[in-house]
Amino acid sequence: MAQRVHEFDWPDRLVIGTVGRPGERSFYLQARTGENLFSALMEKEQSAALAEKLDEVLDELMLQEGNPYSVPAEAPTALDDRAPLDTPVVEQFRVGILSLGFDPSTAQVVIEAFPLVEDSPESLLEPEADGPGEVLHVRIPVGAARSFCKRTREVVEAGRAICPLCLEPMDPEGHVCEPLDGLS
């Protein structure tokens, strides 16, 4: 089977965003260049892990002698993106495997997202035998990568408030909980 590659090299926009209200949100990795829009459904935990690992890669690059790739320590304010997802949000696929890399020849971070294969639990850890049918392949500069991480953390943390007694998320309609041992 021929692989379908959704290529975004220096996209106009790359964000994690949500659809729905807290407690019922769906997370999307969305890339856009001009009119070309791609949205992949992700888990909240995948979104948080992607931002965490990407920040780690950027921190390691920044610490190289002389910071040869000009990696900023903080997200550049000029690159802040607080806008909602571009519409229409149409799920191209559900993300199963994420890959993260760095291309030193262009000083770009490379993010690849592969669709979830639902044949078996092992399929979450291994690509399809004859290669994945599709892949989202995105290349962004290091400043944009820092901003992507900042926004992703903000989106993930914008969920439901945490109950101080049971440490579980609270629903807007109300919350009944059992206090943690020793906190009654």
How confident is the model over 98-156, as pLDDT tens digits? 999 999 999 999 999 999 987 645 545 555 555 668 999 999 999 999 999 999 999 99
Question: Which residues partner with 100 through β-bridges?
Answer: 111
Rounded alpha-carbon distances, angstroms, from residue 134 to 37, 92, 103? 15, 10, 21
pLDDT of residue 176: 81
CB 50, CB 44: distance < 8 Å: no
Sign of CA dihedral 36, 22, 41, 73: positive
Model pTM score: 0.83
